[in-house]
């Protein structure tokens, strides 16, 4: 019996190693999902109307109790990217919702959608309706910040406070190739990684690269429709942000090579009740990689009785 038990354990470990080699991204996501479950965040699904389809299945995480905060991920991302901040919000007595936008994560990918900012914003508004959230705090990261601002402009009475992390949505000089968001070669993947990291990006092992390319081959058409829509500039928010009157926190990684700090400054100057915080030593992935610094800023802003707009601060790199 002991021999059979040992053989079974060895076989199980071998299968796990093989799976990790073949599907490292899936293993990473499953590990993150497990960690979130232990932190009190549960995975669930609901149906919303989207792009003319009456029933599109949306995956989301929810957990905690208290005032609701809704988190919107960025281009090519998923709800798990908020994993380092969600538990901090739960511990600070907030009801957290982090959804996979249509076309991402474990949500449906309708073939007839354009995946424009306007369509994705309508999906978030439908999700708020579905969860019966008459009032909520709304946070968005990168493209998710663009979507969050669009929602706040569409339904200002519904958004109590707005939080933006390294947000797109206004004009800035694009000095990199948009095609990098569909990496299909090691060189493109390395170039994208350099844009996302605050410093020199570590080498991505070949077996992980292979899984990334497999994912891009299967799902890259959604990212392509997203970026094609963005490049039309039809959804840009320049000249419109002055209408946002709710308190707004803008957080930026100083070493963001994808969307420059100057874009954050422009958004800050455009939104009357905004605070702007720049984090030295952080890049475009600040909400994940600098969550220890961002968490207290985020929760402090949500809990503050009367935020004072117009402030700008730069926080040095954490030792």
8 A C-beta contact, residue 282 and residue 251: no
Taking the C-alpha atoms of 32, 38, 41 and 42 in order, what is their torsion angle to the nearest 10 degrees?
A: 90
Per-residue burial over 239-265, b if 16 or more Cβ lie within 10 Å, else e, is eebeebebbbbbbbbbbbbbbbbebbe
Token pair 């990790």 is found at 20
50's enclosing H/E stretch is strand 41-50
Give the residues of the chain that fall short of pLDDT 70: 1, 5, 18-19, 318-319
The count of other CB atoms within 10 Å of the CB of residue 205 is 11
**How many whole angstroms separate alpha carbon 269 and alpha carbon 254?**
17
**How many whole angstroms separate alpha carbon 270 and alpha carbon 14?**
56
Quick one: which of 225, 230, 221, 228 has its CA closest to 115? 225
8 A C-beta contact, residue 75 and residue 142: yes
Give the pLDDT of residue 1. Answer: 58
Dihedral sign, CA of 314, 316, 317, 318? negative
Neighbour-count burial of 32, counting CB atoms closer than 10 A to its CB (0-12 exposed, 13-18 middle, 19+ buried): middle
Give the pLDDT of residue 23. Answer: 83
Please tell me what DSSP assigns to residue 164: E
Give the pLDDT of residue 319. Answer: 61
Residue 135: phi and psi, rounded to 5, are -145, 135
Give the pLDDT of residue 255. Answer: 97
Give the pLDDT of residue 19. Answer: 67
- State both tokens at 302: 């949500």
Give the pLDDT of residue 145. Answer: 98
Residue 67: phi and psi, rounded to 5, are -65, 135
């Amino acid at each position: 019996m002991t021999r059979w038990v040992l053989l079974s354990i060895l076989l199980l470990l071998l299968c796990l190693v093989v799976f990790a080699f073949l599907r490292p991204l899936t293993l990473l996501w499953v590990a993150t999902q497990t960690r979130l479950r232990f932190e009190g965040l549960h995975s669930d699904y609901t149906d919303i109307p989207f792009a003319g389809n009456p029933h599109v299945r949306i995956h989301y995480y929810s957990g905690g109790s208290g005032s609701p905060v809704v988190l919107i991920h960025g281009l090519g991302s998923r709800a798990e990217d908020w994993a380092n901040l969600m538990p901090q919000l739960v511990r600070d007595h907030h009801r957290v919702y982090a959804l996979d936008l249509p076309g991402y994560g474990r949500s449906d990918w309708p073939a007839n959608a354009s995946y424009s900012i306007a369509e994705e914003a309508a999906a978030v508004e439908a999700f708020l309706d579905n969860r019966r959230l008459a009032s909520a705090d709304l946070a968005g990261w990168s493209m998710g910040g663009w979507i969050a601002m669009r929602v706040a402009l569409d339904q200002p009475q519904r958004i109590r406070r707005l939080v933006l992390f390294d947000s797109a949505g206004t004009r800035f000089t694009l000095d990199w190739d948009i095609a990098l968001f569909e990496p299909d070669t090691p060189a493109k993947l390395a170039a994208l990684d350099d844009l996302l990291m605050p410093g020199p990006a570590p080498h991505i092992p070949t077996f992980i690269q292979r899984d990334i390319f497999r994912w891009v081959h299967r799902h890259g058409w959604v990212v392509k429709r997203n970026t094609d829509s963005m490049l039309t500039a039809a959804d840009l928010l320049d000249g419109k942000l002055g209408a946002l009157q709710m308190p707004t926190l803008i957080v930026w990684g100083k070493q963001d090579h994808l969307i420059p700090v100057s874009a954050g400054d422009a958004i800050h100057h455009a939104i009357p009740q905004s605070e702007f915080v720049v984090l030295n030593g952080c890049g475009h992935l600040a909400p994940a990689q600098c969550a220890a610094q961002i968490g207290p800023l985020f929760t402090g802003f949500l809990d503050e009785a009367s935020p004072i707009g117009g402030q700008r601060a730069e926080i040095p790199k954490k030792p």
